[in-house]
Chains A and B, each alone.
Chain A
Amino acid sequence: MPVTGLFFLPNQGADSSPTQDVLARLTTHYHPSPTGPWTLSHRLFRETPSNATPPANGPDRGKPPGPRYLQILTLSHHAPRTYVAITTTHAPLQTRAGTPASSNISAEPTSGQPATIISIPQGASSEEFIQLMMSKFGPLWQLRQLLNVVNGQAFEVGDFRVRVGEVRQGGGGGGQIGKGAVCEVEWVGVGGEEEWEAAGPVITGFWEVLGIRGARRVFDVPGSAKGDASVRQWCEILRVRG
């Protein structure tokens, strides 16, 4: 089973183009062979506020629950599925440095329990489901953010598959705001679940050769052992933007 790691580079200013930067460094340090385009679309719904009490037992005892999110993710390389994930988070002030959360920025809510993920057929069914969420589920979930990856390009570098793309926040009409570049590094190793621990340094090593600073790295997300690890990483990294 391939192991993936995700890196996100936020836009540093009006002129920065982290996507071009990553692509340039990739061609400099490695010999990538292009394998075609890829796309991503992501919708983030946030739970409508209500009076919630902290859970009484378990590892989250006493912490006020952070907002819950519903994420609908479509990846072209996971076709023909669309993933629907529900994540619970802690409120930001309660996070400790030791949690397996990936966030380096302390103001962001981090994942508590492993996310619950199902997949539905991509296409008409997923469109219908999204319409349903937006029109009939207003009292429970409200659409917060719409993200797309444009100009996504995939490459093969030896044992690795690298996908680079520019993240744009979609809105109404044609206005799209660039948010940064995202890069998925997939190591097609030979092992099964056990390879996960060993693969972390391998992927980090691959990234460090490129010598890019300021990237946010997502690798170990709660619930990775349950499967769909790549999807969980995407949900984690796309959740805290904006």
Chain B
Amino acid sequence: MTEITHRTASGVKFYQVGSLAVGNRLLPREQRAAQADPQRANTMISGHRACQGCGEVLGARYVLDAAMRATEGKLVVVNATGCLEVVSTPFPESAWRVPWLHSLFGNAPAVASGVAAALKAQGHEEIRVLGQAGDGGTVDIGMGVLSGMCERNDDVLFVCYDNEAYMNTGVQRSGATPAAARTATTPVAPGHPGNRFGQGKDVPAIAMAHRIPYVATASVADLRDLEAKVERAMQFTGARYLHVLVPCPLGWAAPSSQTIRLARLATQCGLFPLFEAEHGELVSVTPIRQQVPVDEYLRAQGRFAHLFADQAAGGRPDLVARIQAEADRNIRVYGLGGQP
């Protein structure tokens, strides 16, 4: 997938500062982005109610159009409760141009398994199933059924749009909320600098532990890479898991204009590694091109403002250092340090 992103068929490398985007016109047609195709499925159409700069909706649009291209339109989508569902289907309107089912907050992986089972029973295995949820619907309340889906190797691509909190209900902490982040349920108070430092819940690693055919992480900062991973995922049958980092301007307390930049900083500082794994083994990582300190990523978001406030007292460099240590660990463990 890095191939597709960085090179043309002629093998020439293209770089743009701060971005890995390559002009589509320089690529052969079949390598161009799904979004570049005027005939693309346009699976999630405009008119939905997402906030300006919503990373989740951007991610979903790219994921689904790529999945539609990969399956030649033979796709069924199951959606958990959460922002993506609420903004897209206020009755009687719908932003979806794909068979789409919303059941509950915590059961999207199981519902998707049910759709896949039905299609199998009907002999329609050419129709593929994609389940999608926010981080809450995936790493917390949907964890049991997601694990079941993976363990049975049901033919579902499950996509988690991780904006690192329960956004739909007003930015409460989830199991994917990073340490020190301020949320509505981890408010900043004396002696309480936002979310607690824990061991984290690494769901891509948990998915890998099920040895399912394909696991990948992606981000809305590199949309071509995201598309490529969806396309790759669709080449496998069985359970597949894609974890996409999708900044939320509201929850992260950052301007709408900063969504892509924040997503990029998250990977460039090492906090959100981009990788692919097949059958439980890492097969590729996206190296960091220009490493930045976590400081730069954290400072750009209001949810971490308390780490830098009260300059007289020096803010909380100790906590920033702990977060930097987490990033350094990722860089070490995933080998993100090399040049591309």
State whether these chains interact: no
Seen from chain B, the residues whose Cβ lies within 8 Å of a Cβ on chain A are none
